Structure 1
Amino acid sequence: MVYTRKNQSSLSRAERRRFVDAVLKIKRSGEYDEFVRTHIDYYVSDGEHRLRVAHMTPSFLPWHRRFLLDFERALRRVDQGVTVPYWDWTKDRTPASSLWGEDLMGGTGRRGDRRVTTGPFARGNGWVVKEGVTDGDFLTRALGRPGDPLKLPTRQDVAWATAETVYDVSPWDSTSSRGFRNRLEGWTSGVGSERWRNHNRVHRWVGGHMLGGASVNDPVFWLHHAFVDLLWTRWQRLRPDSAPYLPARPPELGDSQFERIVARRQPMPPWRTTPQDMLSHKGIYKYAE
């Protein structure tokens, strides 16, 4: 049966509680930290000379679609009625948004150590960071980056990405000048805060643990990526005549991306799943838009 992912702003109080309870349960079992470790392991930059599947690569979108599905399935084993909500950061744009309420994500970090002290994912409520630990075992955030203010992406930023008629282009990394994937992922040649657009800018706006490979330590990661997944779905509907994923064939020997990215029908570690397998979620879930 097809289930529905809802905008977090439309969740009832009971739906919020059930989602949070399911997340806390898989955290207590240790399963949540396995998701954190997976993302750390596959957070490979394009400056590294090895296979990239999660970031700075064409498979950014299908890899995270599969990652989200695995997480959602874990939640639904706890409570069959739970799905991953999405955070539309073009609308819910301030730390006062319902997303950051005591009954969902909790608020920003306190001044100084950026420690989150409110909501269900505060250290005092049992949310202990175990993977990618740096200064402490507590969740950190700095919503809006107070020391150097940053604004969340706008509808115009999203339109800039969705205007692209091609999915991705060579050299298939963070320097690709065109392509929907790179514009949605948000790498640019700009300077300062203009270096980051869309997906990347949201990670920067949240700050704390949302910076870098250990970003899954913050459960808002899933709501953010559910919206990124929705934006990909919208682009697919808007561009039905465009190639749904590129490259179709692996780069050849001598190409700078040889064995560093996956083509449409190649597996994306840690799974045997290919980008082709993830081009549609029809029959699994839909979005309430």
Structure 2
Amino acid sequence: MYTRKNQRDLTGAERRGFVSAVLELKRTGEYEEFVRLHSQYNTADARSGPRAAHMTPSFFPWHRRFLLEFERALQRVDPQVTVPYWDWTSDNTPAAGLWADDFLGGTGRPRDQQVTTGPFAYKAGNWTIRNGVTSAKFLTRDLGRPSAPVSLPDKDELASALNQKIYDADPWDSTVTTGFRNALEGWSVRSVPHERNHNRVHRWVGGDMLSAASPNDPVFWLHHSFVDLVWDRWQRAHPDAGYLPRTRLRAGDPQRDRIASLDEPLPPWNVKPSALLDHTKLYRYAE
């Protein structure tokens, strides 16, 4: 059992340990596999084939396992390292501590959004983008999108998601108008015309975080660690409202075999959502 901490509560040594372990995974090439996996399983509604990571009920369990795989890789480098979380409802400006030069570095420069500060700056020599959606070799960010400002989600928006009584609903995709999963994942729906929560965080960071290759920016892990914590909070607040759908969809349903019910395995690990509902034997969150 280990503890994931709020990034603002990390000691200097814990910050350095996390950064060093991430850089080592990058040096060995293992980091690129995580970027590749996320790109591979980020399947939109309109595309054919199974949807495991986004726009689907398995958004939470898939990313929980993804984070665990990454955390285990970090711990093979340094057993003391865990993935901290970024509470974007509190640390909600480009001046927040996670963007410091000794941690994640700051926003990109105006002309090309290239990050030039911190350990993940291209000029530091340790962070070359190899699996991006463009040919750029440098990490990009546009914190807050000054040219057309966007804000991070606030506590009320997060509370609105946490107040949802059910987990997910038909048609089990980005158009769902009710349920916790899409309220937190944050796809625009008719009743809420703007992206919310998780999705708006990606947009606020900008740059590489806008693409399916978003793990190219190490803030991805801190963001999804918080998303995982919020799922945990929702489960505790609604103990009788479990994962949906519970059983395989009926024959003829257009989402049958595209989305995973409770006991249908998730690629690429062949693990069922039912095996990922409880993390408490592995880790806890310091809140």
TM range (shorter): over 0.9
2:248 is the alignment partner of 1:250: yes
CA distance in 1, matches of 2:120, 2:63: 23
Residue equivalent to 2:153? 153
Q: Which amino acid aligns with 2:199?
A: N
For residue 212 of structure 1, report the CA deviation from its aligned partner: 1.8
Match of 2:34 in 1: 35
| Residue matched to 1:136 | 136
**Secondary structure in 1 matching 2:3:** strand
Within 5 Å, give how 1:188-207 maps onto structure 2. 188-189=188-189, 194-207=193-206
Counterpart of 1:175?
Answer: 175
Alpha-carbon distance in 1 for matches of 2:110, 2:240:
50
Cα distance in 1 for residues equivalent to 2:256 and 2:275: 22
Post-superposition Cα deviations, 1:268-288, rounded to whole Å, max 9, x if no partner, equal 000111100100001100000
Quote the Cα distance in structure 1 between the aligned partners of 2:207 and 2:195: 16
2:279 corresponds, among 254, 268, 281, to 281
Q: State how far apart, in whole Å, the 1-side matches of 2:203 and 2:75 are.
A: 30
Task: Give how far 1:196 is off.
Answer: 0.5
Residue of structure 2 in register with 1:209 after alignment: 208
For 2:134, give the aligned amino acid.
T
How far apart are the structure 1 equivalents of 2:232 and 2:257? Answer: 28
Equivalent position of 1:99 in the other structure: 98
Matched residue, 1:74:
73
What amino acid is the match of 2:181?
R
Q: Distance in 2 between matches of 1:107 and 1:248?
A: 43
Letter aligned with residue 121 of structure 2: A
> Deviations 1:161-207 (Å, cap 9, x if unpaired)?
0111100000000111101001000012259x952100000000000
Distance in 2 (alpha carbons) for counterparts of 1:60 and 1:201: 16
Q: Secondary structure at the match of 2:284?
A: strand
2:46 maps to a residue whose letter is G
Does structure 1 conserve the Cα–Cα contact (< 8 Å) formed by 2:177 and 2:190? no
Q: C-alpha separation between the residues in 1 aligned to 2:26 and 2:122?
A: 13
1:208-261 per-residue CA deviation (whole Å, 9 max, x = no partner) reads 00012110000000000000000000001000111x210011112211212110
Distance 2:190 2:85 in 1: 28
Contact 2:152 2:200 in 1 (8 A): yes
Aligned partner of 2:270 in structure 1 is: 272
CA contact (8 A) 2:133 2:211 kept: no
Matched residue SS, 1:228: helix
Percent identity between the two aligned chains: 59
Letter in 1 for 2:6: N
- Cα distance in 1 between the residues matched to 2:228 and 2:193: 23
User: Is 2:33 aligned against 1:14?
Assistant: no
Q: d(CA) in 2 for partners of 1:143 and 1:274?
A: 36
Q: Distance in 2 between matches of 1:133 and 1:13?
A: 33
Corresponding residue for 1:111? 110
Identify the range of structure 1 (246-255 vs 20-29) with the bigger mean alpha-carbon deviation: 246-255
Structure 2: 5+ residue stretches without partners: none
What is residue 162 of structure 2 aligned with on the other side?
162
Instruction: Give, in whole Å, the separation in 2 of the partners of 1:124 and 1:49.
Output: 40
**One-letter amino acid matched to 2:4:** R
Cα deviation per residue 1:85-120 (whole Å; 9 max; x = unaligned)?
000000000000001001111000001110000001
Which ranges of structure 1 fall in alignment gaps of 5 or more residues? none
Check if 1:24 corresponds to 2:23. Answer: yes
2:18 & 2:47 partners in 1: Cα distance? 37
In structure 1, give the amino acid aligned to 2:244. Answer: L
Distance across 2 between alignment mates of 1:271 and 1:164 = 29
Offset of 1:5 from its aligned partner? Answer: 0.1
TM-score with structure 2 length normalisation?
0.98
Question: How does the TM-score come out when normalised to structure 1?
Answer: 0.97
